[in-house]
Amino acid sequence: MGTPTVGGAPGTGATFVSRTIAPGLTLHKNTDNRRKTNLLNVFWVGVLGDDVTARALIPNCLMRGTTRFPSLQALTRETERLYGVSLSSDVRKIGERHVLQFRLEFVNDHFLPGGESILEEVITFLREVLTQPNLVDGAFEPAVVEQEKETHKRLIEGLLNDKRSYAVQRCLEITCENEPFRRHEQGSVDDLPAISPQSMTELWRDAAATNETHIYFSGSLSLDEAEAALTPILSTDDRTPLQFAPLAEPRMPGEVREVVERMPLKQAKLVMSYRTGVPFTDARVAGLVVGNGILGSFPHSKLFVNVREGASLCYYASSFLERTQALMFISSGIDQARYEEARDLIGVQVADVAAGKFTDEELTATKLALESRLLMLEDSPSALMDIHLAWHLNGAPYDLDAYRKQIVAVTREDVVAAFKEVKPDVVYLLGPDGESSEQPSDSEEVSS
C-alpha cells in the first residue's frame, strides 16, 4: 500500500525509505551493513495533554508480561535466550506531542553461531509485547497496575536526585507555566490515584488504534522484506488516526522573572530561559543553531571560554535549544556566593552573540563543529530515527544533507538576524540552604 518516499542524502546511512502501510501507520527503513545488530523502534505519537501520566504508564504495563510470557521474569528470560535482545521503552515529548517508544536491538543473524536465525522470533516477540499483554478478565492485572503506579511515583519523585536536570526542569516548568509544554513527559504524581486497570487498558487500546505510529528499522533488509516482516507488528485494521492541533506559534516573554529555590546542596545551579521567536521550520533556524553553538555548545564557545575558564565562575555552563518551542536554555553549576556575577556575565555572552560580537574564528569553528557532529550522526541509526521523527512531527522535510549545507553557509548577519528576537524569560537559581537540614523548603520570587 502506498508508494515509497525517499528522504535524506542518497548513498549514505542517513537515508530512510518510508512506506505508509495503513492510515497513520508508517514504516521507515534505513540500510546499515556496518553494524553487528539490527535496531527496531516503534513510536506511538499522541497529544501532550491531561492523560500524559497514564500514557507514560502504558509501556511499563506492557513490559510486565504477554500471554505467552506472562511475567517480567518470563519476558526477561526470553530476551536472554534471544541472545540478549535489548528491549526497552521510553517516553518523551516532541514539542506538544507525547511519544511512547519501544526499542529493540538484537544481533544480526549474520553473526550468530551455527547459522541460527532470530529475526522472526524477535519481531514476533515485539508484536506480542505491544498487542498481547497478559490481561486478566480483559484488563491489566490490578496488582501490576498498582505496582507500576507506585514505581512511577518514585520515578517522578526521584527526578530530584539529579540536581542538574532537576534545575533545568524547574526552569522549564516556570517558563512554560501556561503551556502544554510545562508537563513533564512522565506526568505528575497527582494524576496517579485516578488511574485504574480498566482505564489503563482502554488507554492502551486507544493508543494502539489512534496514535500516529512510526515503525523504524535499521539493518540489512530490503524495503519489501522489511514490510513483510514488520507489518504484522500492529493491526492495520480499524485504525482511526488522531487529528493533531496545528503546531503552536512561538510565544514571547513578558518581564524577566527571577526565581530562587533552596535545598541542602553543595553546588548551586543557575538556569536561564530565553524565547527565540524562531519557529521550527523558519529560514533563520540555521543562524539560530550556529548562534547557540557560538554561545554554549562547545569547548570553544563563549560560556565555556569566558564564564567557566576565563572568570572561573562555574564548573559547567552550556546552552541548548528547544527548537519545537522556540526556547533556549542556559544551564550552569555555580558558587552561590557569585550568583549575580555569573548571571550578569552569562547575560553579556548572549548579548554579544545577538550583537554579532564574535570573531570569524568563533563562527568558523562553530560551523565546523556542527558539520562534524552532523556527519557523525550518520553512524547512529538511533539518533537518525529520533531526528527523522522530530522533523516529521514539526513539519520539516528530512534532508540532513541540505541542513548541513545551510549550517555551513551561515554568515554573521544570519546569526544576528536569528538572535534579533531572543529575549530572556526566567532566571532560576537552585541554591544551597546554608547546610541547615531543619529549614523547611521555601520558594521566593523576585522580579527584576
Partner 1 sequence: MTFGPETPITNETLKETVYRRVHSSGLPVYFCAKPGFQKRYACFATHFGSIDSKFSRGGKPAIEVPDGVAHFLEHKLFEGEAGNAMEEFSKRGAASNAYTSFNTTNYLFSCADGFYDHLERLIRFVQEPFFTEENVEKEKGIIGQEIKMYEDSAGWKVYFNLLESLYQNHPVQKDIAGTVESISGISPELLYTCYETFYHPENMILFAIGDEDRETYFSHVDRVLSERTWEPLGTLERIFPDEPSAVASRRAEERMVVSMPRILVGFKDVHPGISPEALLTRELSADILLELTFGQATDFYQRLYEQQLIDDGFHGSHSALADIGHSMIGGDTPEPERLEAEILKEIERIRRDGVSAEGFERQKRAIMGGFFRYFNSLEFTANHYCGYQFLGIDLLGIIDRLHSLKLSDLNDLCAEHLDPERVSTSLILPKVGALA
178-237 positions binding partner 1, by CB under 8 A: none
CA nearest to 352, candidates 286, 299, 288, 302: 302
- Among positions 35-64, residues that touch partner 1 (CB under 8 A) are 35-37
- Say whether residue 157 binds partner 1 (CB under 8 A): yes
Binding of partner 1 at residue 69 (CB under 8 A)? Answer: no
> Starting at the edge strand that comes first in sequence, how are the strands of the sheet with 5-7 ordered?
5-7, 16-22, 25-31, 212-219, 37-47, 97-107, 86-94
Q: Return the number of other C-beta atoms located less than 10 Å from residue 136's C-beta.
A: 12
Q: Which stretch binds partner 1 (CB under 8 A): 231-239, 321-329, 419-427, 436-444?
A: 436-444
Sequence-ordered alpha helix ranges (H) in 314-359: 339-354
378/414 with CB nearer partner 1: 378
Q: How many CB atoms lie within 10 A of CB 408?
A: 14
Cα–Cα distance for residue pair 124/75, rounded to 1 Å: 13
Residue 218: strand pairing partners: 30, 39
According to CB under 8 A, which residues from 349 to 378 bind partner 1? 361, 364-365, 368-369, 371-373, 375-376, 378
Specify the residue, 10 or 254, whose C-beta has the smaller distance to partner 1.
Answer: 10
Q: Check: CB of residue 372 under 8 Å from CB of residue 329.
A: no
Please identify, among the stretches 29-37, 221-229, 280-288, 346-354, the one whose residues bind partner 1 according to the rule CB under 8 A. 29-37
The nearest distance, CB 94 to partner 1, in angstroms, is 24
Interface segment toward partner 1; rule CB under 8 A; list 40-48, 156-164, 240-248, 341-349: 156-164
Annotate 426-442 with b (16+ C-beta within 10 A) or e (fewer): bbbbbbebeeeeeeeee
From CA 212, how far away is CA 100, in angstroms rounded? Answer: 11
Residue from 7, 47, 83, 209 that binds partner 1 (CB under 8 A)? 83
> Which one of the spans 19-27, 34-42, 44-52, 323-331 is the region binding partner 1 (CB under 8 A)?
34-42
Tell me the per-residue interface mask from 249 to 278 with partner 1, x by CB under 8 A, - otherwise. ------------xxxxxxx-----------
Q: Is 84 in the site for partner 1 (CB under 8 A)?
A: yes
Binding-site size, partner 1 (CB under 8 A):
74
User: Whole-number minimum distance, CB 10 to partner 1, in Å?
Assistant: 15
CA 208 to chain centre: 21
> How far, rounded to the nearest angstrom, does the alpha carbon of residue 374 sit from its chain's CA centroid?
17
**152 in the Ramachandran plot: left (φ > 0), alpha (ψ -120 to 50) or beta?**
alpha
Binding mask of the shown chain, residues 292 to 321, with x at each position contacting partner 1 by CB under 8 A = ------xxxx--xx--xx--x-xx------
Which of 3, 178, 243, 441 contacts partner 1 by CB under 8 A? 441
Of 153 and 423, CB closest to partner 1: 153
Is the separation of the CB atoms in 404 and 146 below 8 Å? Answer: no
CB of 44 to partner 1, least distance (A): 21
